[in-house]
Structure 1
């Protein structure tokens, strides 16, 4: 039994189905996919739009993809990519682009500030030598025998002092690392906005590690999107389940996990149907939903765990703005490169990212937010009519309940995200973006604005419009995700696993938590499995 149908749930369902398990996925909404949602004729006829998540570098480069790749390809999943995954446009006309060609990136950074090219090469070389440890930490059940083996491997390779140094660097804020490594603002502006794609800011502990991980992943793997939208991946994973005899059932809202003698035995649907589970239940939900709804009044759950779940925090909200355009965006500066770039950040730079994060954390509408400009049609032209263009805009520094406007121009009223408030804030964003894109107004066909409140209504895991299902600040990340009292994916209820973005290794479309739990179940016999039960989580 799998509750929810996001990427982690579907990866687990597909892997378990291929191993002969009898799988049932229950999704409360009318369609599967969770935060992967593709709409046709949106925001205008002839346009195909990934409404929430869009980019799949973490899945293509993650632990689940290698084992599923051939089957997904047979089912029509085709990934489109570019050699220019990331770029930045600054207010003064400065631009920078991150290429999968190391020398091209280095040359561009040197043109902006001599020496930054060597700094880029050095970062890729130095961090690349230890990157396997960082990526392994994000793809391993840390509270397990495998986690202990990873720690031992790191200690053997790096030595005691080297391990201590690596741990210290993993805790460093991105601002300190960026300022120490790159002398020019162009390189700092190119890299710093990517911290927001994990819900962090440049001053947060551990943000330098996330910055390096994302930068290396982009430099090595680009920023792929599935042709035709994320729905293709959802359909393929669901097809693997169904063809193996399993079921992906939509409109099936689970109200309780049924527990007998301390073990999960099935679920109760809101319509009263009881469904038994012979082997176990996987719940792709938030900690509060798990411990206060699905396990309400369950005596085997310690009070300390419920208290910890109650303290689980959510991060900043997110806003999406989707533009249908009659022609591709015309970038005012460096159009030849930026027009081919998957994701361009329009930002004042490192200090601007910090300022927008600080304002949003204080529940203010940022005066100059970081504008994430995704250009999926530059990679996948099938998403727009012939000759058309599109922009997938994300605003990751958006408070769920704004108490004011940092610029002093917008009346936020009582802080509720009304359509009028969302449109006014979107107007500010597009006015700023028009400084970088010449035809933003003249080529606009239609637009759709999705507020943090809309996100929460669309997906109950996106509490407060947080697209990452929980703050990824250090006390809720790695060893401590989702909670120090209940880390990892096993719960105090035998046969019940917790998966999803709220669990390790966190958000993104890697499907890693579903993969880890599926492999735990598949290999769930013998000494290794028994040893796991001695560890937290």
Structure 2
């Protein structure tokens, strides 16, 4: 490894890879340092069940990345390094406990007609919402892809004010603050239509009652219809391989098993990092120092950055206090199944849908979120059932399949079971036994909609919230979004109220990742913002 680079990027998640690739392509010497034995952060593909079954262990679906500014800038380069995306005209669907199903397609005309069949006017109101999203796209997506405290954002708001006037801009902001429940109940009369869209707010780290969740529900609905549900051919690690090839092509380096212990600072300016190199489970790890001539960019949580990586002398008391109080959200569980055959749903229209939600509807989502926040295992959580082999048969041997199952409404510390079936541990900590028993409940529910599912399971792997944090240190308590996304910790106030944009109290030190603006979602936007700012 070289001892000096222009830029050092700590962590190798999607934001790090986007940032490093953009900087390297611009001619800078870049070094990416990863503490784990693999690159990618939450992008990890492995044969964790049986040989030949390639599972995306954590994240696996990329509708936000393929519509991101990073992808627009790097798509041709990534394709040259082997990246291929597959997609579906049926990105998502819902099935309720009674077996009623509804599919969202990439055709607005079809979606409008289907929703109008359910309840007269629902489809028309859906189409009006999507048209409004197109009209507001520049403002909406610019706020999610630009530094908020910047001349670019001021110019954008000035243009919008001149176009809309004070009342129009105020109306936009007021509508954005509404909850997902508000939006769904005002625009849809059909419970099934509400059920189709309600679970998607969980993928932003919010619940249906949260302020701003209505705006995020519309953003996701618009993205699904316009971009579908993209998946990387052969496994999401092929995206990481493409990034690695691109960064190395331009002279960059990427190193695993390199655990950054300290950011070196002189005169309030970041100068480099001190690392331990070598696998964490082995003896004799080597201590090394690496110089950063221009900047250090950290993809970590606020606690890691301000309470561990920086010496206390460089962290103002207000920042230290806010970092210590940074709040994490509900926990998550992943279940991976290797199947003897392709799933055959009771409703055949679900067989080729990319991602199906099993949900009792809007109220059921709200109840499960509330139960998790109170420390309870939800009695009937929202179940995300994604079908990678429906889009990409290469993920499993011929005639076989995999399922990617996610639960996003779980407590990180268990106080009880809302169903009264699983006894809470005395210390509240997740154990493998509890995770397996809860997974049994989930598989039984899925089996009501996929006949013969349990008999077709060759192997099952259950990853509890505790397992997720052990895989990726940024997923504190099993929170897949690296921090609660409520308004008090979002937009201008993410990660901390005392700081501006992705800057830190130390010059030439920048903070990126899901804990920073614009929050979670596999898009790479915070890495893009920092790279663009450095290159400008």
Give the TM-score range, shorter chain.
over 0.9
Bigger Cα displacement from structure 2, 114-123 vs 425-434: 114-123
- Whether 1:435 aligns to 2:441 is no
* CA deviation vs aligned residue, 1:6-47 (integer Å, no higher than 9, x gap): 01001111110001111111111111100000003x312210
Q: Secondary structure of 1:154's partner?
A: helix
1:292 to 293, 307, 322: 307
* CA deviation vs aligned residue, 1:267-307 (integer Å, no higher than 9, x gap): 0113431111100100000001000111132x232111111
Matched residue, 1:518: 531
Find the aligned partners of 2:130 and 2:422 in 1 and give their Cα distance: 43
2:21 to 14, 18, 40: 14
- Whether 1:269 aligns to 2:292 is no
Q: CA deviation at 1:202?
A: 0.6
- Whether 1:458 aligns to 2:471 is yes
Find the aligned partners of 2:429 and 2:231 in 1 and give their Cα distance: 33
Matched residue, 1:143: 149
Find the aligned partners of 2:379 and 2:23 in 1 and give their Cα distance: 48
1:353 to 340, 352, 365: 365
Q: CA deviation at 1:446?
A: 0.9
Matched residue, 2:345: 331
Q: CA deviation at 1:142?
A: 0.7
Q: CA deviation at 1:231?
A: 0.5
Q: Secondary structure of 2:135's partner?
A: helix
Q: CA deviation at 1:106?
A: 1.7
1:75 to 65, 75, 81: 81
- Whether 1:173 aligns to 2:179 is yes
Q: CA deviation at 1:182?
A: 0.2
Q: Secondary structure of 2:46's partner?
A: strand
Matched residue, 1:152: 158
Find the aligned partners of 2:452 and 2:527 in 1 and give their Cα distance: 43
Find the aligned partners of 1:404 and 1:153 in 2 and give their Cα distance: 52
Find the aligned partners of 1:158 and 1:389 in 2 and give their Cα distance: 51
Matched residue, 2:281: none
- Report 1:96-111 matches (<5 A): 96-111=102-117
Matched residue, 2:279: none
Find the aligned partners of 2:184 and 2:232 in 1 and give their Cα distance: 32
Q: Secondary structure of 2:333's partner?
A: strand
Find the aligned partners of 1:307 and 1:147 in 2 and give their Cα distance: 29
Matched residue, 1:528: none
Matched residue, 2:318: 304
Matched residue, 2:52: 46
Matched residue, 2:99: 93
Q: CA deviation at 1:366?
A: 0.2
- Whether 1:403 aligns to 2:415 is yes
Find the aligned partners of 2:24 and 2:60 in 1 and give their Cα distance: 26
Matched residue, 1:526: none
* Structure 2 gap ranges (5+): 1-7, 277-285
Find the aligned partners of 2:506 and 2:311 in 1 and give their Cα distance: 13
* CA deviation vs aligned residue, 1:171-229 (integer Å, no higher than 9, x gap): 00110110010000011000000000011111000000000000000010001001011
Q: Secondary structure of 2:229's partner?
A: coil
Find the aligned partners of 1:397 and 1:157 in 2 and give their Cα distance: 41
Find the aligned partners of 1:9 and 1:409 in 2 and give their Cα distance: 42
* CA deviation vs aligned residue, 1:88-136 (integer Å, no higher than 9, x gap): 0011121111111012112222222222111211111123211221111
Q: CA deviation at 1:487?
A: 3.4
Matched residue, 2:283: none
Matched residue, 1:508: 521
- Whether 1:226 aligns to 2:241 is no
Q: Secondary structure of 1:234's partner?
A: helix
Find the aligned partners of 2:39 and 2:308 in 1 and give their Cα distance: 21
Find the aligned partners of 1:269 and 1:218 in 2 and give their Cα distance: 41
Q: Secondary structure of 1:65's partner?
A: helix
Matched residue, 1:529: none
Contact 1:258–1:266, Cα closer than 8 Å, also in 2: yes
Find the aligned partners of 1:286 and 1:377 in 2 and give their Cα distance: 34
Q: Secondary structure of 2:255's partner?
A: strand
Matched residue, 2:401: 389
Q: Secondary structure of 1:28's partner?
A: coil
- Whether 1:364 aligns to 2:390 is no
* Structure 1 gap ranges (5+): 524-537
Matched residue, 1:23: 30
Q: Secondary structure of 2:52's partner?
A: coil
- Whether 1:64 aligns to 2:64 is no
Tell me how many residue pairs correspond in the alignment. Answer: 519
Q: CA deviation at 1:389?
A: 1.6
Find the aligned partners of 1:383 and 1:157 in 2 and give their Cα distance: 49
Q: CA deviation at 1:157?
A: 2.1
User: What RMSD in Å do the two structures reach over aligned CA positions?
Assistant: 1.0
Matched residue, 1:533: none
* CA deviation vs aligned residue, 1:478-518 (integer Å, no higher than 9, x gap): 11111111131111111000001101111111001111111
Find the aligned partners of 1:330 and 1:240 in 2 and give their Cα distance: 40
Find the aligned partners of 1:96 and 1:109 in 2 and give their Cα distance: 9
Q: Secondary structure of 1:278's partner?
A: strand
